[in-house]
A and B are shown apart, each in its own frame.
Chain A
Amino acid sequence: MARGVNKVILIGNLGQDPDTRYTPNGNAVVNLNLATDESYKDRQTGQLVPKTEWHRVVLFGKIAEVAGQYLKKGSKIYIEGKLQTRKWQGQDGQDRYTTEVVVDINGQMQMLDSREGGSGQQNAPAQQQNAPAQQQNAPAQQQNAPAQQQNAPAQQQNAPAQGQNEGASLPPMPEPVGDPDGFDDDIPF
């Protein structure tokens, strides 16, 4: 049996409505674009530096159906899944790799919006997050704009050699993916 651990835990907001597809045998597959807010206060200036990390989340099975039905752009959710990297070929015939957070039967998805904000009964017990869906959209969108500026401060902490985290700009990906799994994705990232 497996002796390793491969676990990802995310709490964030959806950058767009869920994308539901069905496999030939009728199983639902839902793709989510999830933003985790990692803004921080600059020690020197005391100013809040916006930082968003975007994650590709793929749900399978029952939980995918629930996600497709009840989630929408701006929804806040808890995700517990595993990392999986798959290989695909770009239109130029070159190999590309995409890393996703996969939520299957071993994973979990919980909706964190209060009932008022979300639609449906399956929502998590109402917590203090009674921001209606409209307000929740706002932070996700604001984060897109300043994405460019995020690079500079982020690099101080991390590898200088590496261009950090452009993910926040949510680039509209040009090429459709020839996906070996049979789900072709709009965003091969």
Chain B
Amino acid sequence: MSRGVNKVILIGNLGQDPDLKNAQNGNAICNLNLATDESYKDRQTGQLVPKTEWHRVVLFGKVAEVAGQYLKKGSKVYIEGKLQTRKWQGEDGQDRYTTEVVVDITGQMQMLDSKASEE
């Protein structure tokens, strides 16, 4: 069995509405664009330096359906998944690689917005 660990934990906000699709076999696939705020205070100037990291998150199965249904742009979520890199070909025929955070049956997604704050 597998003896490695491959775990990613993110808390951030959606940069846009979730993109929910169905695979040919009917399973839901949901793509999220997630921003983690990593702003920090500059030691010398004392000013806040804005820094945002963007993550491609892909959810599969039941959790994808939930995400597609309840999340929207700006939603704050907790994500627990794994790193996966896939290869694809650009229009120029050259290989490209995209690294994504994959949330499957072994992962987790939790919505962190309070119900009251949802308009």
A residues with CB within 8 A of B = 1-13, 35-41, 48, 51, 53-55, 78, 82-85, 90, 92, 94, 96-99, 101, 157-167, 171, 189
Contact = CB atoms under 8 A, between A and B. Distances in A.
A8 B97 contact: no
A85 B94 contact: no
Nearest to A188: B97
A6 B38 CA distance: 8
B36 interface: yes
Interface of B: 1-13, 23-25, 29, 35-41, 48, 51, 53-55, 58, 60, 78, 82-88, 90, 92, 94-99, 101-102, 104-105
22 contacts: A1-B41, A4-B12, A4-B37, A5-B9, A5-B78, A6-B10, A6-B12, A6-B38, A8-B7, A8-B9, A10-B6, A10-B83, A78-B5, A82-B38, A83-B53, A83-B83, A85-B99, A99-B85, A157-B104, A160-B23, A160-B25, A166-B87
Contacts, number: 146
Contacts of B40: 1-2
Contacts of B104: 157-158
B85 A36 contact: no
Nearest to A40: B2
Contact of A92 (B85, B92, B99): B92
